[in-house]
Amino acid sequence: MLKAKTMKRAYMDHNATTPLRPEARAAVLRALDVLGNPSSIHAEGRAARALVEDARADVAALAGARTAEVIFTSGGTEAARLAFHSARVAQGVERLIVSAVEHDAVLASAEGAGLPVEIVPVDGNGRLDLTALKALLAGSEKRSLVALMLANNETGVLQPVAEAARLAHEIGASLLCDAVQAVGKVPVDFDLLGADMLMLGGHKIGAPLGVGALVVRNGLPFAPLAVGGGQEMRRRAGSENVSGIAGFGAAARAALAGLEEFARLTALRDRIEARIADMAPDAVFFGRDAERLPNTSYLSAPGLDAETLLMALDLDGVAVSAGAACSSGKIGRPRVLEAMGVEWDIARGAIRVSLGWSSEPEDVDRFVESWLRVYARLRGKTPATVSMNVTAGRRETPRLAALES
């Protein structure tokens, strides 16, 4: 008896985590065969240390930073905790100013830092209101730290980090930039951004889960959160995760080399939005009028329900999300859309589609067909007609191979 052919799933949730890059996998496996502790001075220890320092140089290059500015952590969340702790203890920060669309890891870390937290509003595209930031900065004589992400993890909207850093520095404040979602997708330059600290996460660029970094500008007073040994130049105690760090370095090197290729995902993202807009004229694409990451589309339509939609897409072999993937699988009111002033009837059906280094045009077609089938059922249309129209439209859109020429 012949077995039914299993159709390949379309993974379109790269902003949650992206597949492990082959280069990172190879680096991890090589590192697992290295015996030494990187703090040891014998040959085995020096071999492990070399892996860590080579990776530090690769991560620094991806972030446009100096090698000595990179502190390895367990991920972006620890980097946020470490940054706020150090700002309070070593830099004398007395209050935190956080954008309304920051990742929950940043917002929760800020709220747990033991300092007053003030929120800066955003406009209808989810972009920081610089006038409001300037007013907040001028409204107190207390030393402040501004927390502003470079790219929103849900909408993909890019934030005016360099402008915000200039405003902060004019009054002696500092700025922490969450670049977890941006690095490896758009060029990042620590110096040009003007940030004082920068957060990075490995698994967003094809490294293993459980490794990240905090970039700290040379000369900035710093206080470690974890104390004990002298690892990471006495800035983060604990034996380094050598294999994870090696994978992070390899992924960073591959991501930097592939930045131009990643930018071409814009064509696939726009393909999604054009086809859905053609068949579903009441569809809404959040942040579409602002500069965005090339791989991210956050969309909805009146009357849709995100939980129902995600289950239907999953059954169709399509993996997307309702936004950030750090809420234990729960779907609630989208905080980012609420900050943007989006009405609940639209916000409740919002899902995020995010492409990555392994995405194919077929993934896009699969998602569009599946989303439109659900939309059609709610509108009383015939799903078969929608599918036929979408399939016919494929012949008019160039494949990724053609885009590369």
Strand order of the β-sheet with 351-354 is 284-285, 296-300, 351-354
Q: Which amino acid is at 271?
A: R
- Residue 177 designated active-site: no
298-to-1, 197, 201, 357 alpha-carbon distances in Å: 43, 28, 21, 19
- Return d(Cα 242, Cα 249) in angstroms, integer: 10
| CA–CA dist 97, 255 (Å, integer) | 31
User: Structure tokens of 38?
Assistant: 């990187």
The enclosing H or E element of 337 equals: helix 335-339
On whether the CB atoms of residues 330 and 276 are closer than 8 A, the answer is no
Do the beta carbons of residue 372 and residue 280 sit within 8 Å? yes
Which pair of structure tokens corresponds to residue 243?
Answer: 């294999």
Annotated active-site residue in 326, 378, 400, 403: 326
Task: Show the CA angle centred on residue 256, arms to residues 298 and 169, nearest 5°.
Answer: 75
Distance between the two ends of the chain, CA-based, in angstroms?
A: 44
Positions annotated as catalytic residues are 326
